[in-house]
Structure 1
């Protein structure tokens, strides 16, 4: 073997060892997070599938019941109501996306103090849901600021308990979700806007397009991959919504704000009927998977990678 070939082999061996050491270093950094995910996310998901076919309960003897839990689910009026409320919650998704896009466009400029505005818009995202619930419970109470403003403007004759009225409770909780989620999606869209080549927007302006036409014909089409991603995670979040409902209304008044996640929680951790709770969770997971597949198909036909 020539000296050149020996040199190549030694370099290949050195680079191979370097890559392996980098890979090991990467896995070692990810290991704590992966272990936590395996223990508290992946294992419960895997374990809940066979559990859904049993009558597992803390206070009862466990036995295999086949599809009885699933039959019971579709005969359970409260579960069907909670599922309907979860679907109604999807209405908030397009509003979040549209407002987030236009807010991202507004803050995507090099103006003095713009970082302060970005921070202010993002604060609700990192604020504790408990703190948010306390503030909005006060604002939406019968003697709160919202009623005071509406009555001062002559829009209402008498105070209304927004979270205690069956007609307004779900819409009020949806509004809180909208308010809290806008900043998160705004930052994602802001990242997308900053990846769009400036040349395209400048070319459109030179060709005589107005600012609005440039946004509609250039900016928003270029954001299609981000719109798809944000809409998908927002859709899944809307169906699985739990925190806002649990803290603000606990599913009341009556079943006005009872969502599927909250009902699953009640069956599992209040009634200790873990078999039935697992079956309900599996049904909701299948629904989310089907909606996600549908979104992938629709966006694939429309094209999610225009550039």
Structure 2
């Protein structure tokens, strides 16, 4: 027993235990509890009854929920662009160019800034009589104001841009860590053989970054489907249902209408969608990394 207490395994578990307890209480237990809850009409303000699969049947007939899932899936379109730009930025900041440390720090500031604060800033930039419209009109790019957040054809894509802008610095730093783990000998050998910069990226950098690409793609995919803060602060799902996402709709059903049974069923359906997309991502990123090479 004393020998185990002095082992590295005990030290590792000791460091992980507080985090695992928090995850158990605030993540794993709510997920487990939501399964039986989804089979009831629990709503806090009235008696609870077992309804079986009625909540799931209602979900697939709920037009607003289907729209919210579709909008969340459209939001996933930012994931490949986010990863591509993050990798390119990581390659740039990994180069030895003047003032690169200042660039890294500056571009990481949005990551550590509250999403609510970021959303409020963008609301000022893109709202009515906005700074962006004023500047674009002044330089002659547009002739009249564009309603960035109240046009049903634009609002969702504007929110996607804001999400991508905020996340670029975070994923850039993850890819930068991956780049710095790649042996420089590989690049030097390839340069001796006459490889161009493009061939270095395609045949060395990207294959050896695949574990990082898998991880970043997974967490950005989950974040895109669960997007909430910027939608809630900037548009609240409007105009109409143009920016209604699954997380916002589940919040409305659970926390505003107190229909927790139905909200739990919606959450499980969205969780299943995330699971399917995650399996697809795993299928495309099973190989790669430094060790196999």
Same fold (TM over 0.5): yes
Taking structure 1 as the reference length, what is the TM-score of the superposition?
Answer: 0.90
Q: 164, 168, 172: which is aligned to 1:178?
A: 164
Query: What residue in structure 1 maps to residue 117 of structure 2?
Result: 131
Partner of 1:242: 228
Q: Confirm or deny that 1:50 pairs with 2:36.
A: yes
2:5 is matched with which residue?
Answer: 20
Match of 1:92 in 2: 78
Q: Which residue of 2 aligns with 1:157?
A: 143
CA drift at 1:152: 2.9
Residues of 1 paired with 2:200 and 2:263: CA distance? Answer: 50
The structure having more radius of gyration, on CA atoms, is: 1
2:46 aligned partner: 60
Q: CA deviation at 1:129?
A: 1.2
Unaligned runs of 5+ in 1: 1-15
Q: Does residue 304 in structure 1 map to residue 249 in structure 2?
A: no
Tell me, yes or no, if structure 1 residue 168 matches structure 2 residue 154. yes
1:55–1:276 Cα contact (<8 Å) kept = yes
Q: Secondary structure at the match of 1:253?
A: coil
Spell out structure 1 runs of 4+ moving beyond 6 A: none
Once structures 1 and 2 are overlaid, which stretch shifts more, 129-138 or 139-148?
139-148
Distance across 1 between alignment mates of 2:132 and 2:4: 60
Post-superposition CA distance 1:242-299 (Å, at most 9, x none): 1111121111111111000000010000000000000000000011111111221232
- Tell me by how many angstroms 1:112 deviates: 4.8
SS in 2 for 1:250: coil
Q: Any conservation in 2 of the 1:141–1:160 contact (CA below 8 Å)?
A: no
Within the candidate set 259, 268, 273, 2:245 is matched to 259
1:30 to partner: Cα distance: 3.3
User: Aligned to 2:280, what secondary structure does the other structure show?
Assistant: helix
Tell me by how many angstroms 1:235 deviates.
0.9
- Find the partner of 1:278 among 264, 274, 277: 264
Partner of residue 146 from structure 1, selected from 132, 146, 162: 132
C-alpha distance 127-297 of structure 1, shift in aligned 2 (>3 A): same
The match for 2:179 is 193
The farther-off stretch of 81-90 and 124-133 is 124-133
- 1:77 equivalent in structure 2: 63
**Residues 1:215 and 2:205 aligned together:** no
Counterparts of 2:161 and 2:150, CA distance in 1: 15
1:25 deviation in Å?
4.6
Deviation at 1:202, TM superposition (A): 1.2
Whole-Å Cα distance in 2 between the matches of residues 266 and 99 of structure 1? 34
Gap change, CA 1:221 and 1:252, over 3 Å in 2: same
After superposition, give the CA deviation of every residue in 1:143-186 in whole Å (9 maximum; x if it has no partner): 22221232233331100121111111101110100000000100
Report how far residue 50 of structure 1 moved.
0.5
Is the CA contact 2:125–2:132 (under 8 Å) kept in the aligned structure 1? Answer: yes
Q: Distance in 2 between matches of 1:233 and 1:89?
A: 14
What SS does the corresponding residue of 2:76 show, helix, strand or coil?
A: helix
Query: Which consecutive residues of structure 2, in runs of 5 or more, have no partner in the other structure?
Result: none
Asked if structure 1 preserves the Cα contact closer than 8 Å seen for 2:254 and 2:260, the reply is: yes
Mean alpha-carbon deviation: is it higher for 80-89 or for 245-254? 245-254
CA distance in 1, matches of 2:110, 2:194: 39
Once residues 25 and 202 of structure 1 are traced to their aligned partners in structure 2, the CA distance between those partners, rounded to angstroms, is 40
Question: TM (normalized to structure 2)?
Answer: 0.94
Whole-angstrom CA distance in 1 between matches of 2:98 and 2:166? 25
